[in-house]
Amino acid sequence: MKNIRALQLMQYGGPDAARISMIQAPVAGPGQVLVRVAAAGVNGLDWKVREGFVRDAFPLELPTVLGIELSGVVEEVGPGVTGFSRGDRVMGGLGGLGAYADLVAVTAANLAVVPDALSLVEAAALPVAAVAAWQSLHFAGPVREGQRVLIHGAAGGLGGFAVQFARQAGAQVFAVARGRDIDYVRGLGAEHFIDYDAGPFEAIAKDIDLVLDYAGGEVLARSWQVLSAQGVIVSTASPEILASTPAGRRGLWFMNKPDAERLKAIADEVAHGRLQSRINAVVSFSELPAAIESNRTRPQVGKTVVDFSR
């Protein structure tokens, strides 16, 4: 068996806890497709897993390969798989870890074909952020025209898609982000921009029907006061919401699940220019550990993608 590159989490900790090493190449098992990875998206979950913040919810046997979404080319089709052939360009979220490796065995049901108009680098930015934004927006129930939706982290990869999906649904969007990102966020369709650095968002946002918490931390605690009587907070960043929701309020914890059909529909919209997908930076495989740390320490605008060919 040949060896391949992978970014492995050796132990929980800081930037040095994840190291590039050589591991044995996988094979495609029943229901799986072996993908030669061309690119992968960098996500906040990478550093949260690295530092052990989710070790209770997701116990891991270390070392393990990090990364949760990828794009690439089908190298091998496992037993029982139909609809994919060697050479197909594909993308998908794994529904687990393991994307930061040259070859990855992926559950076939999690994969979608990449539209011809998108590069594999562009495709790698979509599986997690775009699908999670759509799912979290509708997690508490269908979003109706005229609803007031507040989005924390509106300039990020997840928030940017949520702004666009909320506007498509006819919602009135209140977008919270850094002041420097106002033109970008307004360009996505946000009617109300709230500069996070200029003052408390709760002084501006009132009677909100849905809060999407993509930021976490003290933002969640401050968000309860902006809700309407029947309002709800959906958080992807604060699992403690399940234990900290005040009496009489509604708070939901959301975790993304792969959805190949939704991913393909979103990718087609991006390919035809009906949705914007912003890639903030493209890095080499050797720069991946630093890119994960940058995701932790610096506010992100759009997505960072690792190009395996660099």
Structural contact between residues 261 and 117, judged by C-beta atoms closer than 8 angstroms: no
Classify residue 172 as left (phi > 0), alpha (psi -120 to 50) or beta: beta
Nearest to 258 by CA among 154, 110, 117: 110
Check whether 242 has a pLDDT greater than 80.
Answer: yes
φ and ψ at residue 263, rounded to 5 degrees? -60, -45
What pLDDT is recorded for position 1?
62
**Three-class secondary structure assignment of 256-293:** CCCCHHHHHHHHHHHHCCCCCCCEEEEEEHHHHHHHHH
Check whether 298 has a pLDDT greater than 90.
Answer: no
How confident is the model over 2-28, as a mean pLDDT?
96
Nearest to 215 by CA among 189, 185, 241, 250: 241
Structural contact between residues 34 and 27, judged by C-beta atoms closer than 8 angstroms: yes
Check whether 300 has a pLDDT greater than 90.
Answer: no
**Gap between the Cα atoms of 147 and 287, Å rounded:** 42
How confident is the model over 51-61, as a mean pLDDT?
84
Cβ density class 182-215: b for 16+ within 10 Å, e for less = bebbbebbbeebbebeeeebbebbeebbbbbbbb
Q: pLDDT tens-digit profile of 201-225?
A: 999 999 999 999 998 889 999 999 9
How confident is the model over 159-178, as a mean pLDDT?
96
What's the pLDDT band for 59 if we cut at 50, 70, 90?
A: confident
What are the residues whose beta carbons fall under 8 Å from the beta carbon of 180, sequence distance 6 or more?
none
What pLDDT is recorded for position 285?
97
Q: Could you tell me how many residues make up the chain? A: 310
Torsion on CA atoms 200, 205, 208, 211, rounded to nearest 10: -40
What pLDDT is recorded for position 113?
98
**H or E element at residue 175:** strand 172-177
Q: pLDDT tens-digit profile of 246-278?
A: 999 999 999 889 999 999 999 999 999 999 999
Q: pLDDT tens-digit profile of 109-128?
A: 999 999 999 999 999 999 99
What's the pLDDT band for 299 if we cut at 50, 70, 90?
A: confident
What's the pLDDT band for 194 if we cut at 50, 70, 90?
A: very high
Give one DSSP letter per residue of 12-69, joined into a string.
SSSGGGEEEEEEEPP---TTEEEEEEEEEEE-HHHHHHHTTTTTTTS---SSEE--SE
Q: Is 293 exposed, middle or buried (0-12, 13-18, 19+ CB in 10 A)?
A: middle
Q: Is 85 exposed, middle or buried (0-12, 13-18, 19+ CB in 10 A)?
A: exposed
Instruction: Return the ∠ at Cα 122 (arms to 120 and 126), rounded to 5°.
Output: 105
Q: What percent of the chain has pLDDT over 70?
A: 100
**H or E element at residue 164:** helix 157-168
Q: State the maximum Cα–Cα separation within the chain, in Å, rounded to a whole number.
A: 60
